[in-house]
Amino acid sequence: MTRPKTRPWLAISPNTLVANARALAARVAPSALCAVVKSNAYGHGLVPVGKALSEAGVRGLRLGVFTPAEAFKLREAGVAAPLIVLGPQEDADIARLAGLDVELALTDDLDAGRYRKGATVHVKIDTGVGRFGGTITGALKTIELCESAGVRIAGVYSHLANAEDLDERFTASQLERLLAVHAPAGALRHIAASAAAIMWPATRLDMVRCGIALYGYWPSESVRRADSARGLVIERALRWFAPVVQVREVPEGTTIGYGCEFVAKRPSTIAVLPLGYADGLPRVAGSGALSVRFGGSTAPVAGRICMNACMVDITDVRPHVARGDIAELDIDDVAQAAGTIAYEVLARLPESLDRIYA
């Protein structure tokens, strides 16, 4: 695909994703790696990412999605790697997923009777997040009901609540609760996502589920700076660009954008980018909260972000910006300007954005 001249786009490197997966797999070995590709592979593109990872030769690799629709999409695209659906499933989807050799999360003790012979499940236990998962006291009965129905138990697992903030005490208590649940022979125990997989070897168990680190982002600054993260190299696989489609010279006192929030304090040069909140750029990041990059220079967003456009003050950018020049947005900068985290910005990148893989 050629680079668009009038639309924003994402440049994504499958080779970088594969390198990150291999680095994480090496870090957690002999535990296996589940690469989490839910939410359109954190905005990177479900099918291209799924294909690249499944063909990378990573030992014991599984792919984790959240919805049955994501699993169906991967199978329809020819991705044959082991898959886990980590979210709830409709009754109508369970048999079809089992027929496609997709493993299923059993996320509530009340659901044990919904699975039939031929299905493969990972029994989830809530150990402290208060989200999905059955109870510790109900786990034994859930497992027994599944086994009596001919359902294969492939895993018994949980999810950590505060690993990225280096809360070792609470993490240890959650791990202890999971290990208190008897897992059938051959079932994988897993609890660690990216932060714990990097930080605490004891949490790696039989498998880890890595999402954000797979795409080159640290779960938190605390994790990045931790001694236990030393030697791990992960790189960003995605870059976000938008072309300048118009340049406006405006006199002092000119207002820009909805609400007239930006008022030029001097003769100014304004660039218009065809990028707005419909394209994943949070509206709250406008009015100077976010700056975009032109080479080694930065330019603040001028006024409110619109649905399909934003304006930036390029008065001080050198060399001068012209129509057709390219602005780059940094995901962490966008997250900080919006008062959120990189996870959210990535997950909200719409499928309508052009994605170029190279």
217 included as an active-site residue: no
Question: In this structure, what are the phi and psi dihedrals at residue 34, rounded to the nearest 5 degrees?
Answer: -105, 115
38, 51, 124, 357: which one is catalytic?
A: 38
- Give the H/E segment covering residue 332: helix 331-338
- Give the H/E segment covering residue 328: strand 326-329
- Say whether both 168 and 303 belong to one domain: no
CA–CA dist 33, 239 (Å, integer): 25
- Say whether both 217 and 339 belong to one domain: no
Task: Choose one of 165, 188, 222: the last residue of a domain.
Answer: 222
- Say whether both 205 and 352 belong to one domain: no
- Say whether both 28 and 141 belong to one domain: yes
pTM of this structure:
0.96
CA–CA dist 99, 78 (Å, integer): 15
Determine, yes or no, domain membership for 230: no
Q: Which residue, among 195, 190, 248, has the nearest Cα to 223 in the 3D structure?
A: 195
- Say whether both 26 and 118 belong to one domain: yes
CATH code, domain carrying 293: 2.40.37.10
Determine, yes or no, domain membership for 8: no
- Say whether both 298 and 176 belong to one domain: no
Mean pLDDT, consecutive 10-residue segments, the chain of 358 residues? 92 98 98 98 98 97 98 98 98 96 97 96 98 96 97 98 91 97 96 96 98 97 92 97 98 98 98 98 98 97 98 98 98 98 98 98
- Given a contact cutoff of 8 angstroms between Cβ atoms, the answer to whether 274 and 242 are in contact is yes
- Say whether both 143 and 267 belong to one domain: no
42, 258, 265, 277: which one is catalytic?
A: 258
- Say whether both 40 and 176 belong to one domain: yes
Q: Which domain holds residue 181?
A: 14-222
Number of structural domains in the chain = 2
CA–CA dist 339, 299 (Å, integer): 19
Question: What Rg value do the Cα atoms of the chain yield, rounded?
Answer: 23
- Say whether both 152 and 211 belong to one domain: yes
38 included as an active-site residue: yes
**What is the token pair recorded at 4?**
């668009």
Tell me what pLDDT residue 165 has: 85
Question: Which of helix, strand or coil describes residue 198?
Answer: helix
Q: Which residue, among 113, 94, 91, 92, has the nearest Cα to 103 in the 3D structure?
A: 94
**What is the token pair recorded at 238?**
């995605």
- Say whether both 203 and 254 belong to one domain: no
Task: Work out the number of other CB atoms within 10 angstroms of the CB of residue 162.
Answer: 16
- Say whether both 164 and 313 belong to one domain: no
Q: Which residue, among 85, 20, 83, 33, has the nearest Cα to 60 in the 3D structure?
A: 33
CATH code, domain carrying 204: 3.20.20.10
DSSP 283: G
Q: Are strands 207-210 and 32-36 parallel, antiparallel or unpaired?
A: parallel
Helix and strand totals (H; E) in the chain: 11, 19
